Amino acid sequence: MPQDREIAIDVRDAVKRYGTFAALKRISLTIRDNEFFTLLGPSGCGKTTLLRMIAGFEDVTEGAIYLYGEALDTLPPYKRPVNTVFQNYALFPHMNVLENVGFGLEMLGKSKAEARARAGEALEMVQLSQFASRKPSQLSGGQQQRVALARALAPRPRVLLLDEPLSALDLKLRKSMQVELKHLQRETGITFIFVTHDQEEALTMSDRIAVMSEGELQQLGEAREIYERPRNVFVADFIGDTNLMEVTVDKVSGGRAQCHLGGGHSLTCDAVDGVEAGARVHMSLRPERLFLSAQPAEPGSLPGTVRETIYIGTDIATIVDLEDGPQFTVRSSNSTRGNARVFEPGQNVAVNMETGAARLLAD
Amino acid sequence: MAKPHDLRRYPGFLAITILCLVILYAPLMVVAVYSFNASASITIWEGFSLRWYADVFTGPESAKYRDAAWNSFIIAITAATSASIIATLAATAVLRSGKFRLRTVSIGLISLPLMVPEIVTAVATLIFFNALAFERGILTILLAHIAFCIPFAYMPISARMQGIEASYEQAAMDLYATKRMAFTRILMPLMMPGIVSGFILAFIISLDDFIITNFVKGAGVETLPTAIFGAVKQGIKPNIMAISTLLLLVSIVMVALSWLIGRKDQKT
């Protein structure tokens, strides 16, 4: 991905305080032009606040936000070339679908004819042309969602803000909308800023993800980077499933750390900066990067006993108690080709890991 | 027959319901029925006739009642319109302008007059006009009616506005509508059913007000309720029943209108 692309949104040291409560604690980040950017975090992490600050519904207590180099400052929402897809869609109930979609264009001073024509195009883009004369209440949730999308896209904003737009849809519909959204973003070339608490959704759709927690930016990067190289305990725990445990560092050399965990089991991890021998730190091990084999354990693997096997469908998860040590979850693909041997509870097994599977984390 | 354990049935409730309805509606029925009595008596039925209705419109007292009815109508329309506009602006200020100091107090102050005994309001209004040396006449009635109609108009309007999520106006402003456009294009149409209900309620309240009107009206200026009261003091004639029945009809039409508008709104 080219790093020198134009910057769409530049958030510099933005702080948002409500009285004494800080919803955003000095956040700085840049969002590139034509990017699918996701703000990800649990509820109350400040992601929606940041989105509403970009839209102009909340003012910035300290710091500044720039849109294509221009300071947004006190610009009211109706003067920002930014449109929002609201969580509850907020379709105007007294207008039909076409009037809803054409509203922004009309307010921009376009002629009635042009507004209608361009609203029609936007409806075509979301495949709802045949519903143009319906009222929003006569549509299903998924259709309302697409109308909200068409309404926000019709004025051709420079940046589209999406505030958890898929959270009210059922799983199947949500999955297909994820693909459609990604497709729309590519097709229109508009910068999308997507807010969600669903990490899977974020990983599926985003070019880059900003993980937030308690008003702070935890990590910013591409999906793969965030999943495979989480910077701290929060990110490792929030994104995907992981085996998170405390280890003691014995030796650090060449970016690798020799560690041991409870029960005296030792393993080699990717180190993080500033870790020294003797430190107690957290370690993350993704379950799918572990695999089981029958005992006796080879050197470097960890001996244990199967406690439970869980059938998930695509995968099989096995929970293993290490000898005198912590519990591990191991996940293997449920495929006939694979070497996934299913072990029974009570069987003695060895837990093996791919090189680089274990990562030490900052707190 | 009700099943022995039907939870939706309460024994004895039917009788109580009927009793309540009879107490509420029997007097009205009597008035309505006797307005069609051929006799000049108000208690003895002598057959069906429209003579008292004819008397209201063409009889010796018809001019008096026509003037009074016209006054009542003009006052009710003007008072209801003014009160609805003021109540709409008040609701917008209280519910849509974020938090401001004394917001809770403002909400209380708007609805408090509903709980003040009307006679107190009447005396207070009279003293107010006297203090200003305001000559009593149709204008004093109008001003008093506008004032006491505001809380009645405010109730349905604010209830409606509370049901309108703030995200509609935000969506409008996000789509390049100025605050003013968001109000006229989005908020106003969504509030319209509440405003219509508020207007109709205020209209009916103004139309049948007696106590306050009686205090602040000037000599020789009558509204329909004060004219009726004046006539009744000299004994009840059946033409009073005809006027009352006509007034009742106006109220029923207004309430039905309000209900129909509310129902249409629910469907869309």
Contact A55/B at CB under 8 A = yes
Confidence band for A343, pLDDT divided at 50, 70 and 90? confident
The residues spanned by each domain of chain A are: 7-236, 241-361
Confidence band for A298, pLDDT divided at 50, 70 and 90? confident
CA distance A93 to chain B (A): 8
The CATH number of the structural domain formed by A241-361 is: 2.40.50.140
Give percent of chain B with pLDDT exceeding 70.
96
Identify the pLDDT of residue A1. Answer: 44
Q: How many angstroms separate the CA atoms of B176 and A103, rounded?
A: 9
Q: Which residues of A touch B177 (CB under 8 A)?
A: 78, 103, 107
CA proximity to B53, closest of B30, B32, B74: B32
Contact A84/B at CB under 8 A = yes
Window A:150-179, CB contacts with B under 8 Å:
151-152, 155
Identify the pLDDT of residue A179. Answer: 92
Percentage helix, strand, coil for chain B under 3-state DSSP, each rounded to 5: 75, 0, 25
Contact A51/B at CB under 8 A = no
Identify the pLDDT of residue B265. Answer: 58
Q: How many angstroms separate the CA atoms of A182 and A187, rounded?
A: 9
Query: Is the pLDDT confidence value at A4 over 70?
Result: no
Over residues B167-205, the pLDDT tens digits come to 999 999 999 999 999 999 999 999 999 999 999 999 999
Residue that wins the pLDDT comparison between B183 and A355: B183
Contact B175 A57 (CB under 8 A): no
Token pair belonging to A118 = 């361009």
**Secondary structure (DSSP) of B236-264:** --HHHHHHHHHHHHHHHHHHHHHHHHHHH
Q: How many angstroms separate the CA atoms of B191 and B187, rounded?
A: 6
CA proximity to A328, closest of A362, A295, A298, A351: A351
- Of A279-293, A327-341, B125-139, least confident by mean pLDDT is A327-341
Q: Which of B167, B170, B177 minimises the CB distance to A107?
A: B177
Cβ atoms of residues A161 and A56 within 8 Å: no
Contact B170 A83 (CB under 8 A): no
> What ipTM score was computed for the predicted complex, to two decimals?
0.83
Query: Is the pLDDT confidence value at B3 over 70?
Result: no
Q: How many angstroms separate the CA atoms of B237 and B180, rounded?
A: 55
CA distance B78 to chain A (A): 29
H/E segment holding residue A332: strand A327-333
CA proximity to B187, closest of B195, A105, B149, A102: B195
Residue A309's beta-bridge partner residues? A318
Give the strand pairing for A208-213 and A36-40.
parallel
Identify the pLDDT of residue B4. Answer: 63
Identify the pLDDT of residue B266. Answer: 55
Over residues A61-116, the pLDDT tens digits come to 999 999 999 999 889 999 999 999 999 999 999 999 999 999 999 999 999 999 99
Query: Is the pLDDT confidence value at A17 over 50?
Result: yes
Cut 0.80: pTM above it: yes
CATH H-level, domain A7-236: superfamily: P-loop containing nucleotide triphosphate hydrolases (3.40.50.300)
Q: How many angstroms separate the CA atoms of A234 and B76, rounded?
A: 66
Over residues B10-41, the pLDDT tens digits come to 778 889 999 999 999 999 999 899 899 888 87
Single-letter amino acid code for the residue at A199:
Q
Over residues A173-214, the pLDDT tens digits come to 999 999 999 999 999 999 999 999 999 999 999 999 999 999
Confidence band for B84, pLDDT divided at 50, 70 and 90? very high
Identify the pLDDT of residue A111. Answer: 92
Over residues A299-315, the pLDDT tens digits come to 778 889 999 999 888 88
Query: Is the pLDDT confidence value at A59 over 80?
Result: yes
Confidence band for A340, pLDDT divided at 50, 70 and 90? low
Token pair belonging to A7 = 């910057």
Q: Across all residues in chain A, what is the average pLDDT?
A: 90
Residue that wins the pLDDT comparison between A122 and B43: A122
CA distance B13 to chain A (A): 39
